[in-house]
Chain A
Amino acid sequence: MPAPIRLRELIRTIRTARTQAEEREMIQKECAAIRSSFREEDNTYRCRNVAKLLYMHMLGYPAHFGQLECLKLIASQKFTDKRIGYLGAMLLLDERQDVHLLMTNCIKNDLNHSTQYVQGLALCTLGCMGSSEMCRDLAGEVEKLLKTSNSYLRKKAALCAVHVIRKVPELMEMFLPATKNLLNEKNHGVLHTSVVLLTEMCERSPDMLAHFRKLVPQLVRILKNLIMSGYSPEHDVSGISDPFLQVRILRLLRILGRNDDDSSEAMNDILAQVATNTETSKNVGNAILYETVLTIMDIKSESGLRVLAINILGRFLLNNDKNIRYVALTSLLKTVQTDHNAVQRHRSTIVDCLKDLDVSIKRRAMELSFALVNGNNVRGMMKELLYFLDSCEPEFKADCASGIFLAAEKYAPSKRWHIDTIMRVLTTAGSYVRDDAVPNLIQLITNSVEMHAYTVQRLYKAILGDYSQQPLVQVASWCIGEYGDLLVSGQCEEEEPIQVTEDEVLDILESVLISNMSASVTRGYALTAIMKLSTRFTCTVNRIKKVVSIYGSSIDVELQQRAVEYNALFKKYDHMRPALLERMPVLEKATTNGPTEIVQTNGETEPAVLETKPPPSGLQPASQANDLLDLLGGSDITPVIPTAPTSKPASAGGELLDLLGDLNLTGSPVSAPAPQIAQPSFLLDGLSSQPLFNDIAAGIPSITAYNKNGLKIDFTFERSNTNPSVTVITIQASNSTELDMTDFVFQAAVPKTFQLQLLSPSSSVIPAFNSGTITQVIKVLNPQKQQLRMRIKLTYNHKGSAMQDLAEVNNFPPQSWQ
């Protein structure tokens, strides 16, 4: 068999391949040749073959059959063999392969070899791919080599020790004595690797960190020598002596000085010296300055030094080199929280960076700009940011829009400015705005009562041309629905009023409904808006009726449900229509922090977090409402009109309101929306005011409301201190039979003068033998303080069959309702 080709030949051959397929063919041929050569156990050419194999592995072809060959090479006596063998081990083997343990003995022997280069190879390999077992076995050898006077070996041993510590942290103490005079070395290689080792140890163990703090003076001295010493050809990089070592030392100083006043003080001088003396004309100097700035900002440095650091960063921002600008922006972002005022001074430069061509710089500049917006500069900054939003890449638009909304909310100088800014964002980046922005915006708009006419006019004009941007269309539809009358009456003060007829408004809303571009949610908004206009417009009610009835047979279930309900409003319940579709009052945004934040849209309350499980789908409310109607019997009950859910049909809020037995709809027209609004505060009461509840449960006896067929339901009561008409009933359902009750649903209805709210149950399974209970909270509003009566309906599955029962609860204790 002819001698296998050399590596160089192989590389040349592969490079002549013109296609991927050709290359693959060549490599497969060579692999086959190598495999047969391995089979022949040829010692002379093994080294060459493995080298070729490693090259092919680097190109991405599998080479696992060479692993054992690497081991054989390592065991050989020839240096050239060992060299390739160890390289192969580093590239092909790791702890995932079982064979790697076979190397341990070889490495052990080679660590004690007479030639330093062989020892070096062994150290390199162990430090690269050693597994925890190998490290444990060989740590002693490494430690020995760490103390040797041979600097070639010492530096490699230090790096190997870093790897050992990473794999087996318990062995860290073993290396402690050897570190004592590591920093006394003159050799930069040893110094560098020692600093790496010390850094690793300090990062892993706070005890080590405390122990090594005493090295700060020595480190400072070394750094000083590096800066002050003259030209040293061995370590020079563009005029600076060993910048890599300087950067490493600065990093170690950062770790040592963090949170420690004494160490930080000891470093102040040298940091100031490095900051002022380093040459900034080349990248090298700037790299060192960057590391210095990071260190200054991280330790407990004095304020003069911090200002110096930020000024350096400011200077970086003016530099022509992109890399430096990027790095400066990154660091400023890190420091803007702590040194806000100092960074503000560089605001104009930062804003200029928004116009940079580089994507990374733009992103950084954008984040930094948002961090710098405050009450004083908000107008100017917004102008720049809006301009940026116009011209930036799509990947930025969502973040930029959200940032602008947040900043505008916090610092808006006037309502008109706020609304103008929002309009601008919606029109320029309307499709990138996040979904949660829509309810926030609607709430904001309702709050600025005097701006309604202006807002609706501007929104109308915005979607007239283009109704493809969903969030914009949603907000616009909602506003037109609410304030359409202002729009057609042309009463805008802020701006030139436009002449719009009712038909034109309906035209645009209908086009939104029909358009292919509109999302289902948007269509829902449009339909509801059209419906609301039936009370605000005078001449086009018939047209609205027609539109609504058409959508009663829409394929989209959501639209169909709405249309059917609105149709019902026109037909059977026309007397209630005006009351129901009245203008929304100013929505109060509950600014409670944490889980009880509630955002209201369209009269729905949507508690952000309910303590209990998520509610079932939106279709159930309609049926449950009907069930309750059945419960309370025929004609003396006014029916429930579930309010159409907005963008979240399965929201907890919608579900809760729909469960309400009946609404107190008699009386003045104001009362129709009033209960809906009273409910929000009622709900708010319940949800956010747990501590306000004076638990007089001890005073109110609990009752057993139902006890049949092994199912027992107990009621416990609480009254609210702040709102004496609210009673909170906690039901506990338990099961004394020997089989579980599953799919348990509890429903309740109360007479007309009461209002009822049912929260989600803790679960739907009642375990057998009284081993657990389902709890559910009912809130009853009893403004007229009438005697509490309740009808309950229970459905569950038990012993394989569905059970259902109705009962009346009359034994409420007087303290629960008086």
Chain B
Amino acid sequence: MIKFFLMVNKQGQTRLSRYYEHVEINKRTMLEAEVIKNCLSRSKDQCSFIEYKDFKLVYRQYAALFIVVGINETENEMAVYELIHNFVEVLDKYFSRVVRH
């Protein structure tokens, strides 16, 4: 199950967030900051799946923007990885000339 879907830039500013489980609003900002910290500390040749607390993060970087999806153990990580790319392609198609930051 997908727990949340985030688009955060490198400076930690949230560009898009959608939570599918209830998370307190002040906890959200904390979560987003921690998640982006985890993603930023990864290098290019490390895998895109991070084990964080009791669930997993699947992240993908597009220029200065990180798309992070939090999933639980029933999800296929690689399918979610594809889903992220699919989402970006849809955004690209729908809003032509997308600038990512």
Asked whether, in the complex, the Cβ of B49 is within 8 Å of the Cβ of A287, the reply is: no
0 or 1 for each of B1-30: is its CB under 8 Å from A? (1 = yes): 000000000000010110000100110110
Bound form: Cα–Cα A360–B56 in Å: 11
* A96: min CB distance to chain B, Å: 8
In this complex, which of A58, A286, A363 has the most chain B Cβ atoms within 10 angstroms of its Cβ?
A: A58
The one of B17, B45, B78 that contacts A283, using a Cβ cutoff of 8 Å: B78
* B14: min CB distance to chain A, Å: 6
By the criterion of a CB under 8 Å from any partner CB, how many residues of chain A are at the interface? 31
Is A62 located at the chain interface by the 8 A CB criterion?
A: yes
* B25: min CB distance to chain A, Å: 6
Is B48 located at the chain interface by the 8 A CB criterion?
A: yes
The one of B17, B26, B43, B76 that contacts A287, using a Cβ cutoff of 8 Å: B76
Asked whether, in the complex, the Cβ of B48 is within 8 Å of the Cβ of A357, the reply is: no
Bound form: Cα–Cα A539–B34 in Å: 62
Chain B hits for A57, CB < 8 A: 25
Assuming the contacts A237-B86, A244-B82, asked whether A322 and B77 have C-beta atoms less than 8 A apart, the reply is: no
Assuming the contacts A237-B86, A247-B79, A290-B76, asked whether A59 and B47 have C-beta atoms less than 8 A apart, the reply is: no
Is A812 located at the chain interface by the 8 A CB criterion?
A: no
* B88: min CB distance to chain A, Å: 12
The one of A283, A294, A359 that contacts B82, using a Cβ cutoff of 8 Å: A283
0 or 1 for each of B74-86: is its CB under 8 Å from A? (1 = yes): 0011110111001
0 or 1 for each of A341-359: is its CB under 8 Å from B? (1 = yes): 0000000000000000111
Assuming the contacts A247-B76, A360-B51, asked whether A58 and B17 have C-beta atoms less than 8 A apart, the reply is: yes
0 or 1 for each of A56-70: is its CB under 8 Å from B? (1 = yes): 011110100000000
Chain A hits for B82, CB < 8 A: 237, 243-244, 283-284, 287
Bound form: Cα–Cα A298–B82 in Å: 24
The one of B22, B49, B81, B86 that contacts A360, using a Cβ cutoff of 8 Å: B49
Asked whether, in the complex, the Cβ of B26 is within 8 Å of the Cβ of A357, the reply is: no
* A88: min CB distance to chain B, Å: 13
Is A161 located at the chain interface by the 8 A CB criterion?
A: no
0 or 1 for each of A274-292: is its CB under 8 Å from B? (1 = yes): 0000000001101100110
Q: Which residue of A lies closest to B77 (CB)?
A: A327
* B99: min CB distance to chain A, Å: 12
0 or 1 for each of B43-61: is its CB under 8 Å from A? (1 = yes): 1011111110000000000
Bound form: Cα–Cα A291–B22 in Å: 29
Asked whether, in the complex, the Cβ of B47 is within 8 Å of the Cβ of A325, the reply is: yes
Chain A hits for B28, CB < 8 A: 60
Within 8 A of B (CB), among A324-383: 324-327, 357-361, 363
* A142: min CB distance to chain B, Å: 19
Is A323 located at the chain interface by the 8 A CB criterion?
A: yes
Asked whether, in the complex, the Cβ of B43 is within 8 Å of the Cβ of A323, the reply is: no
Asked whether, in the complex, the Cβ of B25 is within 8 Å of the Cβ of A287, the reply is: no
Asked whether, in the complex, the Cβ of B22 is within 8 Å of the Cβ of A94, the reply is: yes
Q: Which residue of B lies closest to A286 (CB)?
A: B78
Bound form: Cα–Cα A290–B49 in Å: 15
Asked whether, in the complex, the Cβ of B14 is within 8 Å of the Cβ of A59, the reply is: yes
Bound form: Cα–Cα A58–B19 in Å: 10
Asked whether, in the complex, the Cβ of A360 is within 8 Å of the Cβ of B50, the reply is: yes
Bound form: Cα–Cα A358–B83 in Å: 23
Chain A hits for B22, CB < 8 A: 94, 96
Asked whether, in the complex, the Cβ of A358 is within 8 Å of the Cβ of B79, the reply is: no
Chain B hits for A323, CB < 8 A: 47-49, 77-78, 81
Bound form: Cα–Cα A447–B25 in Å: 59
Chain B hits for A96, CB < 8 A: 22
Asked whether, in the complex, the Cβ of A360 is within 8 Å of the Cβ of B47, the reply is: yes
Bound form: Cα–Cα A291–B76 in Å: 7
B contact set with A: CB distance below 8 Å = 14, 16-17, 22, 25-26, 28-29, 43, 45-51, 76-79, 81-83, 86
A contact set with B: CB distance below 8 Å = 57-60, 62, 94, 96, 237, 243-244, 247, 251, 283-284, 286-287, 290-291, 294, 322-327, 357-361, 363
- Write 9 A-B pairs (CB below 8 A) sorted by A numbering: A60-B14, A94-B22, A243-B79, A247-B79, A291-B76, A322-B46, A326-B77, A360-B46, A360-B49
Closest 8 CB pairs of A and B: A322-B47, A287-B78, A358-B46, A60-B29, A326-B47, A287-B79, A247-B79, A323-B47
